[in-house]
Structure 1
Amino acid sequence: MHQLDPLTAPVEPREALRRTAYLLERGRQHSRRVEAFRGAVAVVDEVGEDEIRERAEAGTLTELAGIGGSTAGVIAQAVAGELPDYLERQQREHGGPLVEDEAAAGAGDSTLDPAAAEYLAAIVGDCHSHSDWSDGGSPIQEMVLTAVELGQEWLVLTDHSPRLRVANGPSADRLRQQLRLVDGINRSLGDSFRLLKGIEVDILDDGSLDQSEEMLGRLDVVTASVHSTLRMAKGAMTERMLAAVRNPRVDVLGHCTGRLVTGSRGTRPQSEFDARAVFEACAEHDVAVEINSRPERCDPPDDLLELALEIGCLVAIDSDAHAPGQLEMKAYGAQRAARLGVPLDRVVTTWSADRLLGWAGP
């Protein structure tokens, strides 16, 4: 996985808008600003190149629904053969190497050091990503296109399961539709990239999974996470997680403590459970423990990650991206993995798609 090179003039209006949205996401800017640029891409696609050029020259871009002052400025400068000022500013402010959030991840060094860069370069996939089919902000195709541009070889699409209503997780019928769409995307990609069928399935209070056995059996990779009743008593939470890890359909245990350490949603303490028992079950059943790279999660904390490594667990360094510009968050997980000495051969997101599928298969 690598960092995108900055755009230079000339640049097509569509690409200028896409890159601006990506950089705003990368810088964790307000979602409304991102949505404005993502929406403008759709307008440009719908209207067509000729009319966009005519309107840019006539100064009437803002007469189009979905085009505001900032997006019109980017389009107009791109049409004129210039690098848009707004894009140039975002590249300057948010286009450099990701900097670790020390408060979130506890790193001693605030830059992505050479060891972490080596880990990041070795990561070729991602077992945890979301699209606008649940609570993500972009279409599946845009997530895939960005993953390709970043040099990834595969991506597991893991939209939420239906019980988590706040995330608008697909029902079984909608998931079937999504799987057909994934097949179509893979046919169009050929051998250059693989979009894998997955889910972030909710671990219910009794440890069962929030999707039918039949549908789970149609997926390539299943990431299972706790999203509700996070303050459950320690014994009950342990049994809940053990039941999920022992389920033969589960491949990855997502953000295992559920904690939040920073960010707009505030903070949240980690769930209490017998980590040794859970991680021993992960090792026994060949379930990877996720290193969730989102700075607000930084999950599991260092002491639990060290315990998982001591027990012999596999790990998955995942972005948990809800937008294209968040796919690079794996840099934060790579920095933690390097700092704690995670063996690279135990990181499933460094494996080829074929090796991953062989591991995750029945």
Structure 2
Amino acid sequence: MVALVPALTAPVDPVTALRRIAFLMERQRAGSYRIEAFRKAAATISALPDGELAARHTAGTVQDLPGIGKATAGVIGEALDGELPAYLRSLQDNNTSLLKPGGEALYAALAGDAHTHSNWSDGGSPIEEMVLTAVETGHEWMVLTDHSPQLKVARGLTVERLTKQIAIVDAITASLAGTFTLLKGIEVDILDDGSLDQTPAMLAKLDLVVASVHSKLRMNAEPMTRRMVAAVRNPRVNILGHCTGRLVTGSRGTRSQSDFDARAVFEACAEHDVAVEINSRPERCDPPDELILLAQEIGCLFSIDSDAHAPGQLDMKAYGAERATRLGIDPDRIVTTWDVDRLREWAGRRA
């Protein structure tokens, strides 16, 4: 089940130290440029022949390597000297608890994450790094849900690119031999008329589909309701993502929620066995509490998702777990607490 990663102690491998620093910085929502420096440094030294890094450390030439600066070289040097790097120690001292207390039991009961992104669209890390971190944090499964073609600003996946990604996802799952399952998915845009931004043939090849509105968020309530209900009725849709589209904080500013008949949309979700996402990103906090309670009253399933765009953001599910706990949502109605077989059986029923 999902858990916080234990703190590292000396001695620590330099690659492990750099990866953990990047993870903890992502968890704190630090600037992407600084985080990228540590991930690039880890990739650089991982590719070196055996013995070269130690020899460079002795010779004082670690910073001659591409992408290695003063800060990353310092971490590498301290790790090679058998010490816990000071920067890593400082980050660990300030990252010892859940990002949001109050949902500890539910957080621990989560088995997976149904909404994650990689650098194939607008995420910051390769698929393999997202998977490795999911394994390290106790996930049993994760769905890779990169964006669909219309969202060009997020490098949405065309049919051709999604086909290539599906093959990679299958290969990763096969290589992990049942210890972890990476599921094939997509966050597909709900188009103006409620249709989905990917071909039916491609959607049929996926294990799970999250459908979200990303455009024309200020559409009038009546057409927005028709749009969302049409998407929910599509037999390929499993989860309605961040349904109001609101932003409540963060670097992108704030955005009011879309206007739609929430009761009609959630009744369609309940009728068609589509889960309502509790999006755990703190800048979204979507849907608001009153809509979660309405969906609960109507009898909807839920999905607590991180919407992670970087490995360290997988921990953001703590925000969703706190909200679901506070609002009294039955854990068994949350699909991300289910094991992978139950999830697959549920997701496959509508196809």
Alignment RMSD, CA only? 0.7
How many angstroms apart in 1 are the aligned matches of 2:184 and 2:170? 9
Residue 184 of structure 2 is aligned to residue 183 of structure 1: no
For 1:181 and 1:305, the matched residues in 2 are separated by 35
Which residue does the alignment assign to 2:34?
33
> Which residue of structure 2 lines up, in the alignment, with residue 97 of structure 1?
97
Task: Indicate conservation of the 8 Å contact 1:208/1:243, yes or no.
Answer: yes
Aligned to 1:53: 54
Q: Does 1:238 align with 2:239?
A: no
TM-score, structure 1 length as denominator? Answer: 0.95
For residues 84 and 40 of structure 2, the distance between their equivalents in structure 1, rounded to whole angstroms, comes to 20
Paired with 2:99 and 2:333, the residues of 1 have a C-alpha distance of 25
CA distance in 1: counterparts of 2:55 and 2:253, whole angstroms: 47
- In 2: Cα distance, 1:246 partner to 1:99 partner: 35
Tell whether the 8 Å contact from 2:141 to 2:181 is kept in structure 1 after alignment. Answer: yes
Q: Does 1:307 align with 2:308?
A: no
Matched, 1:323 2:324: no
User: Distance in 2 between the 1:145 and 1:125 partners?
Assistant: 13
1:119 aligns with 2:120: no
Task: Quote the Cα distance in structure 1 between the aligned partners of 2:54 and 2:96.
Answer: 31
Structure 1 counterpart of 2:151, one-letter code = L
Extract unaligned runs of 5+ from structure 2: none
Report the counterpart of residue 225 of structure 1 in structure 2: 212
1:194-252 superposed Cα distances (whole Å, 9 cap, x missing partner): 00000000001111100000000000000000001000000010000011000000000
Q: Given the two structures, how large is their TM-score scaled by the length of structure 2?
A: 0.98
SS for the counterpart of 2:116 is coil
Equivalences for residues 127-146 of structure 1 within 5 A: 127-146=114-133
Q: Which shows bigger deviation, 41-50 or 319-328?
A: 41-50
Q: Report the Cα distance in structure 2 between the residues aligned to 1:48 and 1:324, rounded to whole angstroms.
A: 26
- Say which SS state the counterpart of residue 207 (structure 1) adopts: coil
Residue identity matched to 1:72: A
Query: What displacement does 1:58 show?
Result: 1.6
SS at match of 1:198: strand
The AA in structure 2 aligned to 1:26 is R
Alignment of 1:242-261 (within 5 A): 242-261=229-248
* Distance (Å, rounded) in 2 between the aligned partners of 1:57 and 1:333: 47
Secondary structure of 1:24's counterpart equals helix
Q: 1 CA distance for matches of 2:158 and 2:53?
A: 38
1:99, distance to aligned residue in structure 2 (A):
3.7
**Offset of 1:19 from its aligned partner?**
0.3
Q: Report the 3-state secondary structure (helix = DSSP H, G, I; strand = E; otherwise coil) of the residue aligned with 1:126.
A: strand
One-letter amino acid matched to 2:164:
Q
CA distance in structure 2 between the aligned counterparts of 1:312 and 1:139, rounded to whole angstroms: 37
Shift of 1:51: 1.1
Runs of 4+ more than 2 Å apart = none
Distance (whole Å) between structure 2 residues aligned to residue 32 and residue 98 of structure 1: 25
Match of residue 18 from structure 1: 19
SS in 2 for 1:228: coil
Residue 48 of structure 1 deviates from its aligned partner by 3.2
Mapped to 1, the partners of 2:97 and 2:211 lie a distance apart of 31
Name the counterpart of 1:64: 65
Overall identity of the aligned pairs, in %:
64
Deviation of 1:183 (Å): 1.1
Aligned to 2:272: 285
What stretches of structure 1 of length at least 5 have no aligned partner? 101-111
Equivalent pair of 1:57/1:76 in contact (CA under 8 Å): no
